[in-house]
Amino acid sequence: MSMSAVKKKEDDKEKKFLGRLSYKLDYDFDKNALTVVIISATELPAMDLGGTSDPYVKLFLMPDKKKKFQTKVQRKSLNPVFNETFVFKIPYSEISGQVLVLNVFDFDRFGKHDQEK
């Protein structure tokens, strides 16, 4: 397989649309706190047999991953509204070395939770 064929295959994988996640970030200098509001998701892929999903969002800062949060599960929705707020206590001097990770999962009562793929 040529390099251009490999690149084309990688490009095709990257173009798979998985939906949109709306969120808001705010840093409070007085409180040394990063506030993350998970607002909503739209056009998520159906992960359940009934054609819906039970999505929730997990979020954390890297590289430390010490403080992890997750939203409530929104049952049977491909366009869930979360409107949930999470606060990470972090000094401003350390904020530039952090990466916010947001993962959307499908809640599965009987097995391993699926990451929206």
How many domains does the structure of the chain reveal? 1
Q: What is the CATH number of the domain that holds 82?
A: 2.60.40.150
When the pLDDT of each residue in the chain is averaged and rounded to a whole number, the result is: 86
Residues 6+ apart with CB under 8 A from 70: 56, 57, 58, 59
pTM over 0.85: no
SS (H, E, C) 14-47: HCCCCCEEEEEEEEECCCCEEEEEEEEEECCCCC
Q: What are the pLDDT digits (tens) for 54-77?
A: 999 999 999 987 889 999 999 999
Q: Which domain holds residue 28?
A: 3-115
Provide the percentage of residues in the chain whose pLDDT is more than 70: 81
